[in-house]
Amino acid sequence: MNRPLIFITNDDSLHAKGIAALVEAARPFGEIVVIAPDKPQSGMGHAITINHPLRLQKATIFHDIEAYACSGTPVDCVKLGVYEVLHRKPDLVLSGINHGANSSTNVLYSGTMSAAVEGAMEHIPSIGFSYCDYDAEADFTAAQWVASQLIPKVLKEGLPLGVCLNVNIPKCKIEELKGIEVCRQAYAFWEDRFDKRLDQFGKPYYWLTGTFDSREEATDTDLHYLDQGYATVVPTQFDLTAHQSIQHLKTILS
Amino acid sequence: MNRPLIFITNDDSLHAKGIAALVEAARPFGEIVVIAPDKPQSGMGHAITINHPLRLQKATIFHDIEAYACSGTPVDCVKLGVYEVLHRKPDLVLSGINHGANSSTNVLYSGTMSAAVEGAMEHIPSIGFSYCDYDAEADFTAAQWVASQLIPKVLKEGLPLGVCLNVNIPKCKIEELKGIEVCRQAYAFWEDRFDKRLDQFGKPYYWLTGTFDSREEATDTDLHYLDQGYATVVPTQFDLTAHQSIQHLKTILS
C-alpha cells in the first residue's frame, strides 16, 4: 500500500524554523513534498500571483525530502503543488507551523491559513498550524506534539467537505499544554494604527501596526481557550455566505 | 445635517474605468473620499502590507473629490482611510466597480471584495461591486445603475453586523438587466493550469491560468442568477467558522 502523500507549505518561507518543525512532525505519517515561499509572505491572505510570472526552484534544505522554493504566495504554492509538481491531489495539505497566532479574525490575513483554505477548495483535507510565538527562534516542541496528534487522526477520518482546520497552539512548554479544544473563531479585531515617518526627502511613509482587541467575553472561542492554555482547532470554511441574512436582505433591498 | 461620508476603493487601481463609474454612481448620495491602489492589485485577496512601508499620494484624478493613490493593497487602502486619512469611520465603504466577476469562490481571491470585508470588520456597511466584463474599456452603465439602486438603500437601512454585500452585475445593456437577486455564493472552483515557458536563459517560469468550473446545478446561487441575466447580491461574512462541523470534529479528534 502506498504511504499517504503529504504536501507542506507555509507563509514564513522555506527558511523558517516552523516549517522544519512541521516536516519533522509529519515525517512518520507519509511521503512529503514541500513547496514554500522563497521569502516571508506573512499577511498575504488569499493572494494569488497573476500580474507576474512565478518561479520554482528545487531546494535541498530538507535533505531527503523533495522541496521547492516558490517566488509566489502560499496559495500559489498549493496551486503549483497540485497542478504542476505533483500532478495529483495529495492526501493531506499542511501549512505552518506559523511563527505567531492566527486565531480569531487573523485567519483572514493569514497566508498560512489561506493555503489550508485553498487545500479545502481542492477537496483535500488540510490543516494550518500556528504557534503563538513570533520569535524566529521559537521552541516548537509543544506545537509539534499537537501536529503529531492531529495529522494521523485527519489522515484516518478525513474532514467534512469544504472544511479545513485552523490550529493554534499557545506559547508554552509541552508539559504545560492543557489539551486540544475544538471551538469557534473569536469575534475580535485589530485596532489599527499607522506609524508615520519621513524618508530622506521629507516624504511620509507608513508602517501598519496596532493592537488586537477582544470585544467578547464568550468561553467557546479560540481566544478564550488559548488564554486558558489549550491548543485550539477551529473548523474553517470558504463559503462566506451569511445565510442567516438572506431573507432580511431580500426585504430591505427590494 | 451632514451628508453621509462615503469611502471608495477598488483593486484595479485609481486609473481604472470602473472606479470612476462608482464615484459617479455614489456622488449624489454623500461626500466622497477615494483611496485606491496606484497599480493593479487584482487577486490580492485579504493581503496587507507588513514587510514594506506604505506610500500615499494625493491625486487630482477626480477633480473636486479628495483622492489618494496608495502603494498597498485594497485592504491597506481601507485601513489607511479609516485610521490615517479620515480619522473616523465613514458611513459607507464601496469597492469597485471591478473589471470582471467576483461571484462564487472568486470572493476569496478578490481584492475588491476583501476591501468590503475589511469594511465590515470595522463595523461599517460595505459593498463590493463587480461587473462581469474584464475589458479595460467595459461599458459600466448597467453596473452603475445597480450601484445607484443599492447605495441609498444600504445608507438608509444599514447592514447586519459582520456582513457586507458581494454584488455582481452580468455583462449586459441596462435594458437587458432582469433585476437584482439576493442569493448565496455558488459552490464552484477554478480548474487551475500553469502556462510553463522558458526565459532567455532557458529557465522555466509559470503563468497561472485555468477555467472556472461550476459543479452544482442549484438555482439559488449567484452563478445561476448571473446566467439568467440578474445582478446578484450575496451577503458575505468574515466569520469563517464551520459551526455545523464543531460537534463532528469534537468526536473524531478526541
What residue spans define the domains of chain A?
5-185+219-253
CA A144 to chain centre: 14
C-alpha to C-alpha distance for B241 and A238, rounded to whole angstroms: 9
Label residue B23 left, alpha or beta by phi (over 0 means left) and psi (-120 to 50 means alpha): alpha
| Cβ atoms B146, B21 nearer than 8 A | no
Contacts of B48 in chain A (CB under 8 A): 43, 45, 109, 208
Please name the residues between 179 and 238 in chain A that touch chain B, using a CB distance below 8 Å. Answer: 180, 182-185, 187, 189, 192-194, 196-197, 203-208, 233-238
Q: What is the pLDDT of residue B209?
A: 93
Residue type (1 letter), A132:
C
For residue A63, the tally of other CB atoms under 10 A from its CB is 6
From CA A74, how far away is CA A80, in angstroms rounded? 10
Q: Which amino acid would we find at residue A73?
A: T
Q: Return per-residue pLDDT of chain B as tens, 254 residues.
A: 589 999 999 999 999 999 999 999 999 999 999 999 999 999 999 999 998 999 999 999 998 999 999 999 999 999 999 999 998 899 999 999 999 999 999 999 999 999 999 999 999 999 999 999 999 999 999 999 999 999 999 999 999 999 999 999 999 999 999 999 999 999 999 989 999 999 999 999 999 999 998 778 899 999 999 999 999 999 999 999 999 999 999 999 98
Nearest to A5 by CA among A64, A88, A80: A88
What pLDDT tens digit does each residue of chain A (254 aa) get? Answer: 589 999 999 999 999 999 999 999 999 999 999 999 999 999 999 999 998 999 999 999 998 999 999 999 999 999 999 999 998 899 999 999 999 999 999 999 999 999 999 999 999 999 999 999 999 999 999 999 999 999 999 999 999 999 999 999 999 999 999 999 999 999 999 989 999 999 999 999 999 999 998 778 899 999 999 999 999 999 999 999 999 999 999 999 98
Coil, strand, or helix at residue B126?
Answer: strand
3-state secondary structure of A222: helix
Interface contact flag, A245 B163, Cβ < 8 Å: yes
Q: In this complex, do B75 and A196 lie within 8 Å of one another by their Cβ atoms?
A: no
**DSSP codes joined into one string, A129-169:** EEES---TT---HHHHHHHHHHHHHHHHH---TTEEEEEEE
CB of A128 within 8 A of CB of A96? yes
What is the Rg, in whole angstroms, of the alpha carbon atoms belonging to chain B? 19
Closest residue of chain B to A50, computed from CA coordinates:
B208
Q: What CA–CA distance (Å, rounded) separates B252 from B254? A: 6
106-145 in chain A: CB under 8 A from chain B = 107-109, 114, 117, 121-122
Chain B neighbors of A83, CB-CB under 8 A: 192-194
Query: Are residues A194 and B107, on separate chains, in Cβ contact within 8 Å?
Result: no
Residue in B96, B109, B88, B117 with CA at minimum distance from that of residue B34: B96
DSSP string of B157-216?
Answer: H---TTEEEEEEE-SS-GGG---EEE-B---EEEEEEEEEEE-TTS-EEEEEEEEEEE--
Dihedral sign computed on CA atoms, order B46, A103, B159, B35: negative
The dotted CATH code for A5-185+219-253 is 3.40.1210.10
B54–A205 CB contact, under 8 Å: yes
Pairwise CB contact (< 8 Å): A206 & B56:
yes
pLDDT of residue A159: 98
